[in-house]
């Protein structure tokens, strides 16, 4: 509890409930169990595949290295050159591992800002695009005003990307935060980075947000969102009927539709074989650097 | 004198080359051909009339599209007629008929008794016999070409062609050209011969077969002393001589031959070599016409076909009828009988 | 530019996949389309060779390939794969066939699992492209009569003989060369022998 008190003194604007849950996770063993279960679920299909290749797990960490699956836009030479450029850019700045739901701080150079830099903190609500055009969107509420900034991942004006809290959420896209209560996406701009211990899997934050009453930007009720708790409260009978009508339960069986959305494993392993070594080297060298840094900076959080 | 004759023949050939194809059509042995053809038709008509009362036979067809039984006329219906019942594809592609799984039968030879029938194409699993029939047909047609290609002033006496040997790379016809003692064909002349051959194949003529008695055969080939000499030895076994007719050209062959000249696809008359006879044979020299051909529908690239034509240009070492190193007279007869 | 979906890992199909799916006209929309294809895929797995319209055959082929490759990569203990097989195979004994017969058959296959041929069209009537779709390794006789490899075909006999001739000529040439060098050598040795006698 001391942690909560300490955080509240620093005036974190996060939802009190969320912090409470998070605390529970730290103090009790119950949520950890859920994490373990999730882990097993992830592992089982991997183990069953005949040709399980650990290198393919990179696809979650660096999804932008995979090309667009639409064959009309494929061009192997361009893809290869883009990958080389991406690696060059990654050797210049540290682009850390992050997911939708992680909280990032991005510093870009801005000629009109004081000190010529602009730092923005927010939760990543979407990752899009592939290759050099990969982008991510950060959302935050500043002065009761929701703000979203879309950054290109390989934008040369980006000076640094810092992961303040590395975690995943229940959904692939958190666009519903736009219609959620503002406390769910309010983060202090001077938030401290939370460092995960070595070797732990990326935690999944099981928080369920509350939506504001309608009107909404999208029909969230049709999207089968897991991270929303009170969607049924705002629905009328008409909406429920239409949701039923609009359901597409056959889509998960549409093997070719799924196939056309993905890059097959054989092509992926080619790509990862091409870039994995360099990425691994960069990661190792960065880890050494960060270890030095953690030694030098006193950890106020753990004190 | 010899040189003069040579130059004369060369100028003649060159002149008709320059004039183009119509000039070649001055047939030297036109009357003989006509007469032979006339006799053949008469004999065929006579044999058909001899059949008399038409009897029925059952032919069990095996193969695609499905096995079936056809009721045909004895001594009149041919395998080709059966193919006509089955479809156009069978008519065009069947080269040879196989009766009772053992006897290879010409497509245009009347069936004589109840039998099972299989139609054989060039691309079946075991095409050896079809290939031989094809090669034999090619030789026979080469004779037909050689007959019509020369001017009237050049008498052409066909001699014979040996049995089919595909691995030798070329089919052969040995021809006696008494007025051309030392002739080497120019490429242009070979082209002309090939063109003649191709015209013959383009006409898509059926190849008809007829068994005649020795006397009639001698009567037909009275103008060709080589053939007349061969006929007694050929007819020694059965007393019959098998004749084949393509358009107006009639020749002796043991058979079987393929169904239609249209089944000969790519063809080239590649070379003419001179064979010199031994001292004891009465024939001093022969010309060996050589060519190479592929069935219709065989896809072979230009390069590969060029290799085949280049190879066919070399002298084919099949036994020469006047070769000094072979048993002179018996060899001649046996070769003629085998063809 | 979209990001590739990374939640699932699929193995690459060995057939050409068109960039877009075909809309098979159906009043029930995409569900009806899949229902049609389910019937076709079930028929294909059941009979191993079917003849149908080209468009539907081409679509169904992709789904059948995917189904078999999923079955191979995940096996029969994987629940989602089992659900997919259950959805696609309308006759449930075919699920057993898929995992117990087809998976062992294609486990070490380097080519596509199915074959498609263009079938002849009816001479009269509407012009509709037809196709024959079959599983590889089916028990029926082959449809194509491709025997261009048959050594006994006329063209192959001719080419073989030409090759043999060429080799013989080469061997003769080599033998001649060897003979010449030997002659030269022997000549030299003779000279050597002659020298001391002189």
- Nearest residue in chain B measured CA to CA from C146: B123
B259, B107 in Cβ contact below 8 A? yes
Token pair of A109, please? 């150079």
Kindly report the number of other CB atoms within 10 A of residue A206's CB atom. Answer: 16
Range of the domain at C90: 29-135
Nearest CB to C3 within list A130, A250, A251:
A130
User: Lowest-pLDDT range, A167-176, B189-198, B328-337?
Assistant: B328-337
Å between C122 CA and nearest CA of chain B: 16
What pLDDT digit, counting tens, does each position of A188-233 carry? 999 999 988 888 899 999 999 999 999 999 999 999 999 999 999 9
The reply to whether B332 and B292 lie within a common domain is yes
Domains, chain A, ranges and CATH? 2-296 (2.30.30.790)
What angle (nearest 5°) sits at the alpha carbon of residue C149, between those of residues C146 and C154? Answer: 100
Number of domains observed in the structure of chain B: 2
The reply to whether B100 and B161 lie within a common domain is no
Predicted confidence band at A296 (pLDDT cuts at 50, 70, 90)? Answer: low
- Nearest residue in chain C measured CA to CA from B133: C154
Mean pLDDT of A254-277: 94
Residue finishing a domain among B108, B126, B144: B126
Asked if C63 lies within 8 A of A256 by C-beta distance, the reply is yes
Beta strands in chain A (DSSP E): 103-109, 117-128, 135-142, 145-152, 158-165
Beta bridge partners of A141: A146
ipTM score here? Answer: 0.82
What pLDDT digit, counting tens, does each position of B92-102 carry? 999 999 999 99
Å between C123 CA and nearest CA of chain B: 14
Q: Give how far Cα C89 sits from Cα of B84, C42, C76, C83, C86, Å.
A: 46, 5, 14, 10, 6
Per-residue pLDDT at B10 exceeds 70: no
The reply to whether B113 and B58 lie within a common domain is yes
The reply to whether C60 and C129 lie within a common domain is yes
Per-residue pLDDT at C127 exceeds 60: yes
Residue finishing a domain among C135, C162, C180: C135
Q: Is residue C189 part of a domain?
A: yes
Chain A, residues 105-134, CB within 8 A of chain C, namely 127-131, 133-134
Nearest CB to C19 within list A71, A248, A264:
A71
What angle (nearest 5°) sits at the alpha carbon of residue A251, between those of residues A250 and A254? Answer: 95
Neighbouring C-alpha atoms within 13 Å toward the C-beta of A4: 14
* Alpha-carbon span B185 to B123, nearest angstrom: 35
Residue finishing a domain among B77, B105, B126: B126
Chain C, residues 122-161, CB within 8 A of chain A, namely none
The reply to whether B312 and B324 lie within a common domain is yes
**Which backbone phi and psi does A158 adopt, to 5 degrees?**
-75, 130
The reply to whether B212 and B255 lie within a common domain is yes
The reply to whether C43 and C91 lie within a common domain is yes
Nearest CB to A73 within list C1, C5, C77:
C1
B170, B292 in Cβ contact below 8 A? yes
What pLDDT digit, counting tens, does each position of C93-116 carry? 999 999 999 999 999 999 999 999
Q: How far apart are the first and last CA of chain C?
A: 94
The reply to whether B73 and B191 lie within a common domain is no
Nearest CB to C84 within list A66, A69, A253:
A253
pLDDT at A293: 66
pLDDT at B26: 37
Nearest CB to C147 within list B123, B166, B308:
B123
Say what angle helices A16-27 and A2-9 make with each other, to 10 degrees. 150
The reply to whether C63 and C39 lie within a common domain is yes
Chain C, residues 37-76, CB within 8 A of chain A, namely 59, 62-63, 66-67, 70, 72-75
The reply to whether B254 and B106 lie within a common domain is no
Q: Is residue B7 part of a domain?
A: no
Neighbouring C-alpha atoms within 13 Å toward the C-beta of A186: 17
The conformation of residue A168, written as its DSSP 8-state character, comes to B
3-class secondary-structure state, position A229: coil
Q: Is residue B9 part of a domain?
A: no
* Alpha-carbon span A74 to A97, nearest angstrom: 26
The reply to whether B93 and B192 lie within a common domain is no
The reply to whether C95 and C42 lie within a common domain is yes
Q: Name the residue among A125, B119, B130, A222 with its Cα closest to residue C150.
A: B130
Q: Is residue B194 part of a domain?
A: yes
Sheet holding B96-99, edge to edge: B68-73, B56-61, B115-120, B96-99, B103-105
Q: Give how far Cα C39 sits from Cα of B9, B42, C33, C66, Å.
A: 78, 67, 10, 15
Å between C3 CA and nearest CA of chain A: 5
The reply to whether B148 and B226 lie within a common domain is yes
Asked if C67 lies within 8 A of A267 by C-beta distance, the reply is no
Q: Is residue B241 part of a domain?
A: yes
Neighbouring C-alpha atoms within 13 Å toward the C-beta of A274: 17
Chain A, residues 253-282, CB within 8 A of chain C, namely 253-268
Q: Is residue C179 part of a domain?
A: yes
Per-residue pLDDT at C42 exceeds 90: yes
Interface check A293 vs C, CB under 8 A: no
The reply to whether C125 and C195 lie within a common domain is no
Range of the domain at B122: 51-126
Q: Is residue C8 part of a domain?
A: no
The reply to whether C91 and C162 lie within a common domain is no
Q: Is residue B169 part of a domain?
A: yes
CATH number at residue C87: 3.90.1030.10
* Alpha-carbon span C63 to B17, nearest angstrom: 65
C56, C65 in Cβ contact below 8 A? no
Looking at every residue in chain A, the average pLDDT score rounds to 83
The reply to whether B94 and B33 lie within a common domain is no
What pLDDT digit, counting tens, does each position of B179-220 carry? 888 889 999 999 999 999 999 999 999 999 999 999 999 988
The reply to whether B174 and B116 lie within a common domain is no
Largest Cα span, chain A? 60
């Amino acid at each position: 509890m001391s942690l909560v008190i300490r955080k509240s003194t620093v005036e974190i604007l996060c939802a009190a409930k969320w912090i409470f849950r998070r605390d529970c996770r730290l103090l009790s063993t119950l949520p950890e169990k859920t994490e373990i279960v999730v882990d097993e679920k992830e592992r089982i299909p991997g183990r069953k595949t005949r040709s399980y290749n650990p290198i393919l797990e990179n696809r979650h960490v660096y999804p932008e290295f995979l090309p667009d699956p639409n064959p009309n836009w494929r061009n192997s030479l361009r893809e290869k050159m883009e990958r080389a450029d991406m690696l060059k850019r990654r050797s210049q700045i540290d682009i850390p591992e992050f997911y939708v739901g992680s909280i990032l701080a991005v510093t870009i150079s801005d000629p009109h800002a004081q000190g010529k830099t602009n730092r923005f903190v927010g939760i990543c609500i979407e990752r899009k695009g592939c290759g050099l055009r990969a982008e991510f969107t950060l959302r935050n509420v500043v002065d009761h005003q929701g703000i979203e900034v879309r950054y290109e991942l390989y934008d040369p004006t980006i000076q640094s990307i810092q992961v303040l809290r590395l975690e995943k959420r229940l959904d692939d896209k958190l666009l519903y935060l736009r219609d959620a209560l503002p406390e769910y996406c309010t983060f202090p701009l001077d938030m401290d980075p939370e460092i995960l211990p070595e070797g732990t899997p990326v935690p999944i934050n099981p928080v369920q947000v509350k939506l504001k009453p309608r009107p909404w930007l999208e029909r969230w009720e049709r999207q089968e969102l897991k991270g929303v708790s009170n969607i049924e409260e705002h629905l009328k009978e008409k909406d429920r009927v239409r949701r039923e009508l609009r359901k597409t339960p056959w889509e998960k069986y549409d093997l070719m539709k799924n196939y056309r959305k993905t890059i097959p494993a054989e092509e992926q392993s080619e790509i990862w074989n091409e870039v994995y070594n360099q990425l691994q080297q960069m990661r190792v060298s960065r880890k050494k650097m960060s270890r030095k840094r953690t030694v030098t900076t006193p950890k106020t959080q753990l004190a | 004198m010899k040189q003069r004759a040579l130059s004369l023949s060369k100028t003649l050939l060159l002149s008709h080359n320059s004039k183009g194809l119509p000039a070649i059509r001055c047939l030297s042995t036109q009357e003989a051909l006509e007469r032979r053809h006339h006799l053949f038709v008469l004999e065929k008509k006579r044999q058909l009339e001899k059949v008399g009362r038409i009897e029925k036979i059952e032919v069990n067809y095996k193969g695609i599209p499905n096995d079936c039984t056809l009721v045909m006329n004895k001594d009149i219906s041919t395998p080709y007629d059966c193919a006509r019942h089955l479809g156009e594809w069978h008519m065009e592609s069947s080269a040879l008929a196989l009766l009772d799984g053992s006897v290879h039968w010409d497509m245009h030879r009347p069936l004589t008794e109840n039998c099972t029938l299989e139609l054989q194409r060039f691309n079946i699993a075991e095409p050896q016999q079809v290939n031989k029939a094809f090669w034999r047909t090619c030789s026979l047609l080469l004779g037909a070409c050689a007959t019509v290609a020369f001017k009237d002033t050049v008498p052409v006496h066909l001699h014979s062609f040996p049995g089919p040997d595909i691995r030798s790379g070329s089919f052969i016809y040995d021809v006696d050209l008494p007025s051309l003692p030392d002739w080497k064909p120019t490429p242009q002349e070979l082209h002309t011969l090939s063109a003649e051959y191709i015209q013959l194949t383009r006409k898509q003529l059926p190849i008809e077969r007829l068994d005649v008695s020795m006397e009639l055969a001698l009567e037909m080939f009275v103008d060709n002393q080589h053939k007349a000499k061969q006929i007694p030895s050929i007819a020694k076994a059965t007393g019959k001589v098998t004749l084949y007719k393509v358009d107006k050209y009639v020749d002796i062959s043991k058979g079987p031959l393929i169904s239609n000249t249209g089944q000969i696809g790519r063809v080239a008359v590649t070379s003419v070599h001179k064979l010199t006879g031994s001292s004891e044979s009465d024939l001093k020299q022969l010309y060996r016409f050589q060519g190479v051909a592929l069935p219709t529908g065989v896809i072979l690239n230009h390069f590969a076909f060029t290799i085949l034509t280049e190879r066919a240009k070399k002298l084919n070492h099949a036994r020469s009828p006047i070769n000094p190193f072979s048993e002179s007279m018996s060899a001649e007869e046996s070769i003629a009988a085998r063809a | 530019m979209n990001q590739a979906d990374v939640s699932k890992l699929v193995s690459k199909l060995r057939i050409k996949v068109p960039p877009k799916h075909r809309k098979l006209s159906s009043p029930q929309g995409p569900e009806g389309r899949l229902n049609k294809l389910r019937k076709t895929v079930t028929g294909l797995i059941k009979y191993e060779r079917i003849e149908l319209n080209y468009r539907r055959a081409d679509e169904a082929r992709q789904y059948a390939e995917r189904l078999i490759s999923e079955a191979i990569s995940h096996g029969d203990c994987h629940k989602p794969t089992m659900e997919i097989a259950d959805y696609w195979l309308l006759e449930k004994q075919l699920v057993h066939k898929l995992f117990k017969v087809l998976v062992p058959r294609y486990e070490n296959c380097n080519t596509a699992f199915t074959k498609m041929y263009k079938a002849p069209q009816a001479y009269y009537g509407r012009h509709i492209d037809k196709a024959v779709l079959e599983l590889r390794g089916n028990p029926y006789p082959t449809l194509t009569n491709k025997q261009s490899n048959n050594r006994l075909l006329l063209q192959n006999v001719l080419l073989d003989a030409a090759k043999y001739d060429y080799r013989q000529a080469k061997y003769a040439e080599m033998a001649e060369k060897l003979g010449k060098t030997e002659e030269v050598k022997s000549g030299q040795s003779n000279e050597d022998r002659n020298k001391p006698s002189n």
